[in-house]
């Protein structure tokens, strides 16, 4: 399950263009469905909203991925207390943990796996290195992971992660790639097919309500047709064909 926030870029009040409202979503990479969404209340931020999203979902046997903003002890505790595991990006906002990760990866002999992929005309090489954490830095912490990637002839890019399970490097490659499904499978679709970034609904609870309705509609469209029909075609078929529309919403509970 991927956890990430998305700004509603034009739903800001006058004079607050630099801080538009946002919605944090939980996205299941395998089913490609949005599981939950929360918009921060007044005085809250993305971190608080993400913690509320975690509280809405049964995480037993599930793994949560998130970016560096959510790599903190409260998130780790919230996930592990609900029976889940985590894979959280580690960057300079946690400089002491970052230094500890680099030292352990340098001193230990990590488990390593490599993979080369060709997609959209690009060649990408990726490598995962995993070492067990000498001591946990937050609840459930068990491993440090380093992902090194290189696209075509560009310079290699290194990313670090903290995990609550000592997984195989092959699984680490899969999970770090799967996290970005929330961008391609949810956020991109909301902007392209639902024009979410262009919405000016901004009064009271309008941004939060429209964001939630957009995600519900997107889930319905995702499961509306077993064939590989573009979402844009499914939207039109729902408008033109009552039988198709009724069939699309029959799975709702």
CA distance 157 to 151: 9
Q: Is residue 194 part of a domain?
A: no
pLDDT under 50: residue ranges of the chain: none
Domain co-membership, 16 together with 102: yes
Domain co-membership, 101 together with 204: no
Q: Is residue 229 part of a domain?
A: yes
Tell me: the pLDDT tens digits for 174-223?
999 999 899 989 999 999 999 998 888 888 888 889 999 999 999 998 88
Domain co-membership, 237 together with 168: no
The answer to whether the beta carbons of residues 104 and 82 sit under 8 Å apart is no
pLDDT of residue 252: 66
The tally of domains found in the chain comes to 2
pLDDT of residue 5: 93
pLDDT of residue 180: 87
Q: Is residue 210 part of a domain?
A: yes
Q: Is residue 191 part of a domain?
A: no
Domain co-membership, 219 together with 150: no
Q: What is the CATH number of the domain that holds 147?
A: 3.90.350.10
3-state secondary structure of 118: strand
The answer to whether the beta carbons of residues 26 and 35 sit under 8 Å apart is yes
Rounded to 5 degrees, what are φ and ψ at 85? -115, 165
Q: Is residue 239 part of a domain?
A: yes
Domain co-membership, 8 together with 68: yes
Q: What angle do CA 93, 99, 102 make, to 5 degrees?
A: 120
Element (H, E) at 157: strand 157-163
CA distance 88 to 140: 12
Domain co-membership, 133 together with 227: no
Structural domain for 225, as ranges: 200-249
CA distance 253 to 249: 9
Last residue of a domain, one of 185, 220, 238: 185
- Of residues 50, 136, 146, the one with CA closest to residue 91: 146
């Amino acid at each position: 399950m991927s956890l990430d926030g998305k700004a509603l870029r034009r739903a800001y009040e006058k004079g607050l263009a630099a801080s538009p409202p946002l919605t944090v979503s939980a996205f299941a990479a395998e089913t490609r469905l949005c599981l939950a969404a929360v918009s921060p209340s007044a005085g809250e931020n993305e971190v608080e909203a993400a913690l509320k999203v975690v509280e809405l979902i049964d995480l037993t046997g599930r793994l949560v991925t998130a970016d560096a903003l959510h790599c903190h002890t409260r998130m780790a505790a919230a996930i592990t207390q609900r029976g889940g595991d985590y894979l959280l990006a580690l960057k300079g906002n946690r400089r002491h943990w970052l230094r500890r990760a680099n030292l352990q990866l340098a001193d230990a002999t990590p488990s390593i796996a490599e993979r080369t992929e060709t997609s959209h005309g690009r060649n990408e090489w990726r490598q995962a290195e995993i070492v067990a954490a000498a001591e946990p830095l937050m609840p459930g912490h068990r491993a440090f992971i380093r992902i090194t990637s290189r696209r075509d002839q560009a310079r290699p890019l290194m990313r670090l992660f903290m995990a609550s399970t000592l997984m195989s490097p092959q699984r680490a490659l899969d999970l770090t790639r799967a996290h970005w499904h929330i961008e391609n499978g949810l956020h991109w679709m909301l902007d392209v097919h639902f024009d979410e970034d262009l919405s000016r609904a901004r009064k009271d609870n309008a941004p939060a309500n429209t964001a939630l309705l957009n995600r519900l509609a997107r889930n319905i469209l995702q499961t509306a047709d077993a064939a590989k029909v573009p979402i844009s075609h499914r939207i039109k078929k729902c408008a033109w064909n009552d039988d198709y529309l009724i069939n699309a919403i029959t799975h709702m509970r």
